Structure 1
């Protein structure tokens, strides 16, 4: 039941980010709190908190280094997905952390080629959907 709710949360964030090009606080922050509470109740609170802090810090550094490349919404989402993957172990956390930017890069390359490339073919790709997909895939790999 909890995992289904997490997938629904991530799906809502994905749709919202694709349509609106932003990740709203009303979805990112409460979701992160719920993930942390659920993980604590399941006896995985410390791992979830560590995952949230580690991924949140990594994304915060990236945002502060290149704010035009990574939005604050991505940083807030990193807290929730870091907690979720952290609750499922280091393997899930690392897999999601590595897969998300790779998915965003692949999406950007496909979009760039579809638009014909060239200097004027530059596109901006939202990173939130890749974070969500990578999180679901990483948890699925660990659970299955």
Structure 2
């Protein structure tokens, strides 16, 4: 029964990451209806799995980093990204500091690479950061599960 719950949790997290990315690309926003309930669900699941402290720490630190960037340069990072950082910080923090760090650094690196590619193409439209956050967190967790 444990493997079935784990598979369900992985599928649910993957669906959440895809839905968030789709919304951010299509609508240039991350809806509260996805970010906040997702964060709460991940935190509850982490507590039930015995990783509550690590998840809470990951959520708190990632939120602090993203909130600081948002306050310093609101045009560079939206409030939706800050709210998303709670759930992604909890998710990746549950797997350890190394997974959390890969997700944070990977999201930044991915957005920079996508931004450079857009500039080379001559596209100066704002680039959503949420999909990079989701892709980096998903990849970091996937690597941890392998």
Instruction: State the TM bucket, normalised to the shorter chain.
Output: over 0.9
Does residue 1:36 correspond to 2:38, yes or no? Answer: no
Q: Which moved more, 1:106-115 or 1:71-80?
A: 106-115
In 1, the alpha carbon distance for the partners of 2:61 and 2:10 equals 22
In 2, the alpha carbon distance for the partners of 1:128 and 1:26 equals 15
Task: Report the Cα offset of residue 122 of structure 1.
Answer: 2.6
User: CA RMSD, aligned part only?
Assistant: 0.8
Match of 2:140 among 126, 138, 141: 138
TM-score normalised by the chain length of structure 1 = 0.94
Q: Deviations over 1:36-86 (max 9, x none)?
A: 000100000110000000000100000000000000000000000000000
Match of 2:126 among 111, 124, 127: 124
SS where residue 106 of structure 2 aligns? helix
For these two proteins, the number of residue pairs brought into alignment is 139
**Structure 1 moving runs of 4+ over 3 Å:** none
In 1, the alpha carbon distance for the partners of 2:67 and 2:10 equals 26
5+ residue gaps in structure 1?
A: 116-120
SS where residue 126 of structure 1 aligns? coil
Q: Match of 1:90?
A: 97
Does residue 1:106 correspond to 2:113, yes or no? Answer: yes
In 2, the alpha carbon distance for the partners of 1:129 and 1:122 equals 18
Match of 1:24 among 19, 31, 35: 31
5+ residue gaps in structure 2?
A: 1-7
TM-score normalised by the chain length of structure 2 = 0.93
Task: Report the Cα offset of residue 123 of structure 1.
Answer: 2.9
Q: Match of 2:3?
A: none
Q: Deviations over 1:106-140 (max 9, x none)?
A: 1111111122xxxxx53311000000000000011
